Copies of this chain bind each other. A is one copy, B any other.
């Protein structure tokens, strides 16, 4: 039942505008009109950083659907928060899972080392490691974390989750909170950071946490770069206090040419590519929320401006 009494106008705010427009047009959404005039935009679908620049030109903005999970660009308390912000959730879990377990398996199966043996024609049967029975720790257990937990379970692993408060994923064997973060770290073979960027997540992966990890542990960051203390990580890897790190995100992106991460031992960089927004996935979320919007119902995946995610 449509209860909105006008035709809501959608402004698409992304460099992939045409792709998104086509994808949404195919859905023939009731009453929806597209506009190329910012001042008419009631609904915006797009990139948080682009919206930040345009906020003052959108007098009619009521709802913004972000293409991304990360919406920190819109959180600053100096910015207006008089609209409903929904972010992309539930679409990145599969890709993130492929990425995280791809890198964990590459590590355990010693894929680089075997390639080196091949280069020197050495039929070298050193043993692989395995995921089965290992413990993975998720720093942040939102929709992506829950998906990672499910894949970990498929591979026969134990899953620890560190969260603000206990949640209910059937795939998480044990939750840790607050001051127990070091106890959480001590028991891990792999630590995967899946946190949003907020004040509370700044440098949560610091020297203390890195030192609490076993020396064979691998760190993967697919959340936001702010979560890691860069210098502490360089030191932990250089001294061999942990065995490796895979960073999809860094505090500064693109990573500056003179940053030590480029050449830190056992550190792999992947340049913010672990999960990309595909119009097909984002459009699905948008359509779902659009139907709620025109029925005057609460939208899904709403961001809490106070909490920051």
Contacts and interface: CB of A to CB of B under 8 A. Distances in A.
A118 interface: yes
A262 interface: yes
A257 interface: yes
A155 interface: yes
Interface stretch (A12-20, A32-40, A102-110, A290-298): A102-110
Query: Which of under 10, 10 to 19, 20 to 34, or 35 or more describes the interface residues of A?
Result: 35 or more
A271 interface: yes
Given A95-B130, A98-B130, A106-B106, A115 B155 contact: no
Contact of A268 (B114, B131, B257): B114
B114 A155 contact: no
Nearest to A250: B123
A80 B99 CA distance: 50
Contacts of A273: 114, 125-128
A305 interface: no
A124 interface: yes
A154 interface: yes
A208 interface: no
A255 B105 CA distance: 25
Contacts of A118: 262, 268-269
Contacts of A21: none
Interface of A: 94-95, 97-99, 101-103, 105-106, 108-109, 111-112, 114-115, 117-118, 121, 123-128, 130-132, 150-151, 154-156, 253-255, 257, 262, 268-274, 276
14 contacts: A94-B156, A95-B130, A95-B132, A97-B155, A101-B105, A102-B102, A102-B108, A103-B109, A105-B106, A112-B115, A114-B270, A118-B268, A125-B272, A125-B273
